[in-house]
A and B are shown apart, each in its own frame.
Chain A
Amino acid sequence: EAGVAQSPRYKIIEKRQSVAFWCNPISGHATLYWYQQILGQGPKLLIQFQNNGVVDDSQLPKDRFSAERLKGVDSTLKIQPAKLEDSAVYLCASSFVENTEAFFGQGTRLTVV
């Protein structure tokens, strides 16, 4: 079974530029999560989707971050404009439904310079 796929693996951008991350969940998984993991900290939930609808985006900095899952399958997370403090690993996770195990991708490491 293929796992959660994320791309790119690494990205370096200058502050004030924009960037997008892509996630393809495990086939058939309805629930998708984006987490931000700053170096030395545990992951922090940014947004949760159920199919193509947003369930919880209370911790998403909406002035610069956006996410979508238009067809209820893959998802993109965008930052515009990026700040230095956005440097982190962005993890995507998916689960069959909300009360089943979540599987994590390898993440995208973003460095903002």
Chain B
Amino acid sequence: AQSVTQLGSHVSVSEGALVLLRCNYSSSVPPYLFWYVQYPNQGLQLLLKYTSAATLVKGINGFEAEFKKSETSFHLTKPSAHMSDAAEYFCAVSDPSNAGGTSYGKLTFGQGTILTVHP
């Protein structure tokens, strides 16, 4: 069974500082991995995804994540935090598709990390 663990339910950084949000996964099949962002009272927006191509994945808004199979990790980073990055972030792993292959929408999510950015 798939599972995702996000270390730290709350992360606080200063504006301009490095953002590091941690995600570890467990998967019974080669995983596809995703990071989503959720702003208050909004749905989930895809930041980036790993689908077994390059291990360093670049996403929107300056975020990137590196897939490390040996560590079963997919940590999210951004070199310089901006006030607008304040939101909740979810790491997710794909579940196997019932039809075979991999589903991009049938996901197991972590519990989320709330990012606070201080001026």
Query: Do A and B truly interact?
Result: yes
Establish whether residues B111 and A33, one from each chain, have CB atoms under 8 Å apart when the complex forms: no
Establish whether residues A98 and B42, one from each chain, have CB atoms under 8 Å apart when the complex forms: no
Establish whether residues A42 and B90, one from each chain, have CB atoms under 8 Å apart when the complex forms: yes
Establish whether residues A106 and B42, one from each chain, have CB atoms under 8 Å apart when the complex forms: yes
The reply on A79 being an interface residue by CB < 8 A is no
Establish whether residues B43 and A42, one from each chain, have CB atoms under 8 Å apart when the complex forms: no
Residue in A33, A42, A91 whose beta carbon sits within 8 Å of that of B110 in the complex: A42
Residue in A55, A101, A106 whose beta carbon sits within 8 Å of that of B104 in the complex: A101
How many residues does chain A have at the interface if contact means C-beta atoms less than 8 Å apart?
26
Establish whether residues B43 and A91, one from each chain, have CB atoms under 8 Å apart when the complex forms: yes
Interchain nearest-CB distance for B83 vs A (Å): 22
Interchain nearest-CB distance for A112 vs B (Å): 19
Interface residue ranges, B against A (CB under 8 Å)? 4, 9, 36, 41-46, 49, 90, 92, 95, 97-99, 101-112
Residue in A33, A42, A91, A101 whose beta carbon sits within 8 Å of that of B46 in the complex: A101
Complex Cα gap A33–B9 (Å)? 26
| Chain A residues within 8 Å of B104, by CB | 95, 98-102
Q: Tell me the nearest residue of chain A to B112, going by C-beta.
A: A42
| Chain A residues within 8 Å of B112, by CB | 40-42
Establish whether residues A99 and B43, one from each chain, have CB atoms under 8 Å apart when the complex forms: no
A107 touching B43 in the complex, CB below 8 Å, given contacts A41-B111, A42-B110, A55-B99: yes
Interface residue ranges, A against B (CB under 8 Å)? 4, 31, 33, 40-45, 48, 50, 55-56, 91, 93-95, 98-102, 104-107
A56 touching B92 in the complex, CB below 8 Å, given contacts A40-B111, A42-B111, A101-B46: no
Complex Cα gap A48–B99 (Å)? 12
Establish whether residues A33 and B101, one from each chain, have CB atoms under 8 Å apart when the complex forms: no
Question: Could you list some 22 contacts between A and B, CB below 8 A?
Answer: A41-B111, A41-B112, A42-B92, A42-B109, A42-B110, A42-B111, A43-B90, A43-B107, A44-B109, A45-B107, A50-B99, A56-B98, A56-B106, A91-B44, A95-B104, A98-B101, A98-B104, A100-B104, A101-B104, A102-B46, A106-B41, A106-B43
